[in-house]
Structure 1
Amino acid sequence: MSAFGAWTTAHGLPAFSYTMDQERDPRAEWDPILEPPTRRHAVHLGNRRITLVADNYGLSGLFDEHTALRWLTRDTGVTRVGELSTDISGSERIFGPTFVIVRVADDQVSLERTVLCPEGEAPWVLIRLRVRNLLGEPARLTLTEEWAARPAQVNLISGTAPSTGPDEDVGLELELIGGARPRRTGSGRLAVPLLLAAHGERVVELRYGLLDDTAPSFEGSLAALRDRLPRASAPRAPEAEREIPWHAALLTGAACADGVLGGHTLDQGSCYSFRHGFNGAARDPLQHALPLVYIEPDLALSVLRNTCAWGSPDGDLPYALGPDKQPWTDLFRPSDQNLWALWLAAEYLSATGEEAAFREPVPYHPLHRAAPVPLGEHLRRQFRFFTDVVGRGEHGHVRMLNADWNDMAITESGVDRELMIAQGESVLNSAMAAWVLPRYAVLAERLGDLVTAAEARKLGEELRGLVAEEWNGRWFRRAYGPGAVVGDSDMWLEVQPWAILCGATPPGRAAELLRRIEATAAAGSPLGARLRWPVREHHGPGGVGTIWYAINMTLIWAAADHVPELGWQWWRRMSLAAHANAYPDVWEGTLSGPDAYLAPETDRPGRTWDLADLGIAMQAYPVANLHSHSQPLLAYLRLLGVEPFSERAGTGDGARFASRALTVGP
């Protein structure tokens, strides 16, 4: 249904054939808001070190965050054979899960160019060129491969896209593979003479990037990729068969080995990393790693260790890291971040049983000059920070500070900002903590810390009781400020599923609430439930006209036990297929997406939010946000009953999931 092309397969893997002629088709043009309109459509692919940004012009960018957020190069990478070039709009373009294929031909020769991110942590891309002589006589040709180094570090919330300035030497090299001694050149240009027999063919392989001694092969990488990606099928959601492995590939392909803090980053990407220059919030890599517990648990653990290393010895996690990997605390001080670390840790222990991982040392950010401590001690200190520093307010709920999950919660609350920061309470955080803390208590017990386990379990039970009291007959209230109740006259979606999940409502009421959400916040919306209801005009990131992957994930999870048919319906609305069907002319949502979409009643439905007056916009870089890949994965697993410390796995409705770490289904 997409105007841009159709799904296919390549090398036995799901792939997308991009068929639009962006030079002639007016639907190709879109507005990034902070920059001039463009016809460029990109997708981010990768391994555990390098990100390949492939576009519809046949060009590439390479992004690396090993030591800082930086572009190695952008809008480059061209192969030429005679008059034939791979950067023409009439080419055949196929986007695969870790590779991109471009095919071009004229009357004399055909050329297939594949750029692949090899498996592992190679900081370079592998380029395979297949040249075929179409003539009935021999041909002598010259194949030329050209890349340009265009390094740029992303500026922090500058509102200015990184420049591509003059070429610089940042260690990028181009190498011709084959023969006794591979040839390297720092110039980014190689010419290879070819003598082809009549109708003959030649395959040339090169690699480009920060070349090292690793040497994964083209076919070996593809075989390893096919082996590691999960498989799925669901009678209620046929899209799962294609989208589950696709999401897993793009999610894991966004990881990067961290040369400063250790482990792997797994940040949000999209406008946050690639346009505005920060890795944040800290909750996000933790949230993205949750489904990886059941797909690539070693990577999930690596992300947990890395994110804990952001912090300080008192258990505090900064809101984000800047482009130089230094803690960034100037904008938000959210109150929920420790909960995500405790959740991921409990999920990992439940799935793997590996208690030893929590006894291995993890550093703190070098800024603090503190000695490493075991991962379990990091988590204990984070629990202490959550209980003793974040603390609770007048009504017993968790304090909000200047944000909880919703960065705009205080702005949208209608309560004076300074009063809300000093005294505001988050029912959302109380409900989430009521679910997380009993699971963390199991981990603390396994590590022999019975005192912390008992305290965590007791606090969880108290918060569950307080959340139960926030039912107003229609939904659960959202927050408290001095003399103010937030979310009594309008429904804030984010608290509703957590109130169900933590057990603050009986099953009958849970089903009633879920059906009310379908009839209100989700009504008439092809992509999922809106963040607020009734709908108002504002549709910034905290506004009512936004549909968030992270919140619809918990909503699907809550429905899994109580109204499973709604859960499957909502999962299908979260799919890439649903976005393509509803908004076939919108590129974001075709292969990847933002963290949130605008609802049908807004002026840009199916696109995403902006705060243009502040120089910030998801619409400026509306793809490659990892929520668009991690949340469908986790929601699917929850529909199959996969939860920490639960025996519920297996739905009995024919749905399946299989990875190297987990198999569920008939």
Structure 2
Amino acid sequence: MAVDRRQFLANSAKAAAAAKLLPEFLGFAQGNSPQSPLGDSAQKPYGSGYFGTWIEDEFSLPAFHYTCDQVHDPKAMTEVNPGLLLPTEHIHQVGNDRLVAIASNYGHVRVRQDEGSPKFLNDYAPERGAFAGGFGYLTDGKSTLSTFYPGGGRSFDRIFGIGYFRKKVATQNYGVDHVIFAPFGDDPVLISQVKITNSGAAEAQLRWIEYWGCQLYQFSFRSFMESFPGKCMHELRRQFSTRFEHRFKRLGDSSGLLESKQFTGRDPAEEKAFAATVAHLENNPNPFVSAPDKNAPKLASFDDLTPPRTFLVSIDAAPDGFSTNGKAFFGSGGIEHPTGLDHLLDGDLDESGTQSVLLLERKFSLKPGESRTLTFLYGYLPSGFDIDSLVAKYRKSAQTALRDSSEQWKKSGLRFSTHSEPWVEREVTWNYYYLRSGLTYDDFFHHHVVSQAGIYQYVMGFQGAARDPLQHSLAFIFSDPEIVKDVLRYTLKEVRPDGSIPYGIVGHGMPMPTTFDDSSDIPMWLLWGASEYVLATRDIAFLDSQIVPIYGVRAEGETVRALLARCYRHLIDYVKTGQHGLMRMLRDDWNDGLENAWVPQSSQQEVAEKSESVLNSAMAAYVFNYYALMLTYAGDDGHIASGIRQKAEEHRSAVQQQWTGKWFRRAWLGPSLGWLGEKGLWMEPQPWALIGGAANEEQTSTLVKAIDQELRHPSPTGAIQISGSPDRITSGVSKTEPGTSIAGGVWPSLNQILIWALARVEGAMAWDEWKKNSFARHAGVYPQIWYGTWSGPDVLNSALSKHPGETTGGKPFGWEDFPVLNMHTHACPLYSAAKLLGLEFTEKGIALTPKLPLESFRFDSSLLGVAKTTKGYETIELRGEGGAGSPFRWVVSRG
């Protein structure tokens, strides 16, 4: 039976209201629920918050034991717009290098894959009879136990682990330990392993039914564009998914089912609506969306019309039954009491509609005290993979696959620890897992990419901005340089003939149709990332490797060196500088919303033509010099590098002229609006001014004090972006609540650079800022906000806002609609942890100038290891390999 989403939301709201009115009734309800929250207890490990507790799992890895009964606990409620997450739904990321699975506190799992276009292979839309997947039912013919919450048992444990999601549900007679995990590596599969125990006094005849849905949910930017007249983008996407028919067949050895989809064509009404949307945008671009690029590559598309086949296989033994008819299975009992449990699965392979599913049944008997483990393989088949090889591989390794995968995670990544604060090691290990498991494969570019994700990917439907994967990849420099190289090659393929880079990518290689496309800063991020990679790995050969750019008339291979030079020339010859010698801002710099938020419509053209960015020039002073340093190391005799250094010096000088006496201005908005950043302190340019050498010694001391006083002291969870000043009041096309988002929120992306800058001059302040930006600190200060405990958004409301510690809501969508899985929250603490060491790559090797106020700590990665004890720096190990895999020598300079 399909469940009406609106009715469910209304009932949830009523339940929450009743709970607030009747706390004693709530206590009774929780006492009888499968799981009651532990609350924010001092006995928990630091940083656990309200919704569970951090533990060390059986593999000696950190995991989060989620203990909230979200069905009855009003603290689980978040105001969300209907469509993707329920108001009481809290999610965890399970992934490897190929796919990302979204594990829900309700027990279901949605699988995201990006080949063809980013999408969920198995939507959760209960009103449409789609329940995602990754759960099942145990029945003895009289009673039923499920791994969909609340499950029908006396307890229901949920563990969010590194690479897995574990659910344990039990009654007096039976126990089910169900773990869903993504094997470490690049395979497009999940393993569903179910251990069933007979805790009763008699032998039991049992059935297990494994469920995975088949209904697509594409993160369609086309639907996002069509939603602007007031339609719901989620409903548009789900309507589009009905244009696919399903086909099923049994595998040759009868071990499982293989599903494929046939596109039946777009709805003519939708085609007409999209054409009207495009026509309107061609003449009336809104502040965010523009008309699609008419010169986009022929193979680019908004949506995947040939999605991959999916499969479900029983790999430890043949299934005893199967079905593809979800409507018949769930029947009138719905997801909690499926009618299909009353009889064997019907063997139907003919279902082709929207409630098509993958169902496998296993029958077995268990004596008292006996257990049995069932193993299923779920996945999809992109190019280069075949089902026989995948099944054979995991049939052989299934019994140890989870332990093997966990051992691989333990060996990977970077580690940072200090005896004085043990939680730090947990946080760094967790962040590495989340960042690495956020990787997917883009078969348009033929490279892996780590999308910013969060609301941008899952709700709005784009991979961007282009600066973000580059920033995320920096964290892999120390542990996985091959990932950095993959992201660099992805981005280099985006470089257009004029040296610009699309703001974002939607669907299958389609440049994002946005007014932000003319971003002035993005090429600098590519120059920075490529320079860092070459200097860290000594992989000079990378510069002479061939890349075939995708966008523009040319389709010939060019060297990395030439494409980087093209990006540099774009900044010099197209972006240029303005009347103050500062790099122009164009429509935007890092702050994508600055123009729309602070510039009235009547002044926007003037701002686009005449604005200048102190941030851009402060960044250029460092990046241009770093780029020149890399070229010199790579063999330039000074002919090219000297000119680039001169430009770096010009930008440094221009920034120096913007000193107000306490800080540097933010931007010049043109003659009509003048300077921004005189009345208030803006974070964006300040760290770069320190790093790029624009501030002299006296100015450095003054600026650091101002940052500490104006941006750090008011906030318990990370420096705020704009001080409490009139500058927080937006006066442009779009309005933003002061203390939130770009009007003074807390941004990990900015604070990463701040930590780096502070580490050069004030080690204790840098260390304090790193800790204030941690999940542990957020969970300690705001324990009853679920996000920010194990993952979070790219921006949080500051202590100066109306709702501190939360993120922004709003309609038709808001950041609270998907407030986790943003990769900035995981990448930035990793890269800045390395910068705490005062680590800089140089032409000769590496410089270490640590100012950390710690008696002992250990930083460990495949590139670099540093260990300090109470006796001093006992160990400094450099373990890098060059681009060809050969070891290289380093020169170490230590301050």
TM range (shorter): over 0.9
CA distance, structure 2, for counterparts of residue 242 and residue 391 of structure 1: 45
| In structure 2, distance between residues paired with 1:466 and 1:448 | 30
Distance verdict in 2 for CA 1:236–1:498, change over 3 Å: farther
Contact 2:763 2:851 in 1 (8 A): no
Distance 2:82 2:718 in 1: 27
**Aligned partners of 2:549, 2:818: CA distance in 1, in Å?**
31
Aligned positions of 1:220-299 closer than 5 A:
220-235=404-419, 237-299=421-483
1:284 alignment partner, SS class:
helix
How big is each residue's C-alpha offset from its partner over 1:607-642, in whole Å with a ceiling of 9 and x where there is no partner?
Answer: 113563xx4522221111111001111111111222
Select which of 642, 645, 648 maps to 1:454: 642
Letter in 1 for 2:645: R
Does residue 607 of structure 2 align to residue 420 of structure 1? yes
Q: Which among 46, 65, 68 is matched to residue 117 of structure 2?
A: 68
1:238 deviates by: 3.7
| Residues 1:175 and 2:360 aligned together | no
2:79–2:809 contact (8 Å) kept in structure 1: no
In 2, the alpha carbon distance for the partners of 1:335 and 1:314 equals 13
SS in 1 for 2:214: coil
What is the RMSD computed on CA atoms of the aligned residues? Answer: 2.3
Could you tell me how far apart the structure 2 residues matched to 1:323 and 1:196 are?
A: 49
Q: 5 Å matches for 1:588-627? A: 588-610=787-809, 612=811, 615-627=812-824
8 Å Cα contact 1:237-1:572 kept in structure 2: no
Give the secondary-structure state (helix, strand or coil) at the position aligned to 1:220: helix
Q: TM-score, normalised by structure 2?
A: 0.71
Q: Distance in 1 between matches of 2:320 and 2:836?
A: 50
Alpha-carbon distance in structure 2 between the residues aligned to 1:466 and 1:631: 28
Farther-moved stretch of structure 1 (182-191 vs 35-44): 182-191
Query: Given that residues 322 and 359 in structure 2 are in contact (C-alpha distance below 8 angstroms), is that contact kept between their aligned partners in structure 1?
Result: no
Residue of 500, 503, 507 corresponding to 2:697: 507
Aligned position for 2:871: none
1:363–1:373 CA contact under 8 A, matched in 2: yes
Instruction: Quote the residue 2:750 is aligned against.
Output: 551
Q: Which residue of 2 aligns with 1:658?
A: 860
Unaligned runs of 5+ in 1: none
User: Could you tell me how far 1:413 is from its partner in structure 2?
Assistant: 4.3
1:555-581 deviation line (CA, Å, top 9, x unaligned): 111111211111111111110011111
Q: Give how far 1:430 is off.
A: 0.2
Mean CA deviation greater in 73-82 or 465-474: 73-82
Which of 84, 88, 101 does residue 145 from structure 2 map onto? 84
CA distance in 2 between partners of 1:34 and 1:127 (Å): 29
Report deviation, 1:392: 1.0
Letter paired with 2:630:
L
Task: Tell me what 1:15 maps to.
Answer: 63
**Quick one: distance in 1 between partners of 2:708 and 2:694?**
20
Equivalent of 2:79 in 31, 53, 65: 31
Max Rg structure: 2
Letter aligned with residue 545 of structure 2: E
Match in the other structure for 1:138: 203
CA contact (8 A) 2:413 2:480 kept: no
Q: Deviations over 1:427-455 (max 9, x none)?
A: 10000010111111122234444433222
The one-letter code matched in structure 2 to 1:539 is E
2:197 touches 2:372 (CA, 8 Å); kept in 1?
yes
Corresponding residue number in structure 1 for 2:24: none
1:104 pairs with 2:164: no
Q: In structure 1, what is the Cα distance between the partners aligned to 2:94 and 2:807?
A: 21
Residue from 618, 633, 641 that aligns with 2:838: 641
- The number of equivalent residue pairs is 664
Pairing 1:207–2:384 present: no
Contact 1:407 1:542 in 2 (8 A): no
Tell me which moved more, 584-593 or 73-82.
Answer: 73-82
Q: Percent identity?
A: 31
Deviates more, 1:573-582 or 1:617-626: 617-626
Match of 1:470 among 639, 647, 658: 658
Instruction: Tell me the residue number matched to 2:3.
Output: none
- Deviations 1:102-141 (CA, angstroms, capped at 9, x unpaired): 0001122111111111111111211111111112443221
2:815 is matched by which residue type in structure 1?
M
Contact in 2 for aligned 1:46/1:117 (Cα 8 Å): yes
Q: 2:737 aligns with which of 535, 539, 558?
A: 539
Q: Residue 93 of structure 1 aligns to a residue in which SS?
A: strand
**What SS does structure 2 have at the residue aligned with 1:38?**
coil
When normalised by structure 1's length, the TM-score is 0.95
User: 3-state DSSP class of the match of 1:73?
Assistant: coil
Corresponding residue to 2:366 among 196, 199, 217: 196
CA distance in 1, matches of 2:505, 2:685: 27
Q: Distance in 1 between matches of 2:318 and 2:539?
A: 45
**1:508 to 1:234, Cα distance in 2 relative to 1, 3 A:** farther
Distance 1:50 1:343, change over 3 A: same
1:160 paired to 2:233:
yes
* Compared CA separation, residues 246 and 420, structure 1 to 2 (3 A): same
Q: Could you say which residue in structure 2 is the equivalent of 1:306?
A: 490
Number of the residue aligned with 1:402: 587
Distance 1:562 1:234 in 2: 21
Given that 1:147 and 1:189 are in contact with CA atoms closer than 8 Å, whether structure 2 keeps it comes out as yes
Describe the superposition over 1:529-584 as per-residue Cα deviations: whole angstroms up to 9, x where unpaired. 11111244643775333111111111111111211111111111110011111111
User: After the TM superposition, which of the residue ranges 94-103 and 194-203 deviates more from structure 2?
Assistant: 194-203
1:5 aligns with 2:204: no
CA contact (8 A) 1:177 1:183 kept: no
Q: Give 1:176's aligned amino acid.
A: S
Q: Note if contact 1:376-1:447 (Cα within 8 Å) is conserved in structure 2.
A: no
Kindly indicate whether the alpha-carbon contact (under 8 Å) linking 1:176 and 1:182 is maintained by their aligned counterparts in 2: no
Structure 2 distance, partners of 1:297, 1:21, is 42
Q: Separation in 2 of the partners of 1:117 and 1:335?
A: 39
- Contact in 2 for aligned 1:78/1:146 (Cα 8 Å): yes
Q: Does 2:183 match 1:118? A: yes
Cα gap change, 1:300 to 1:70, in 2 (>3 Å): same
Letter in 2 for 1:423: K
Q: How far apart are the structure 2 equivalents of 1:569 and 1:236? A: 13
Distance 1:457 1:236 in 2: 42
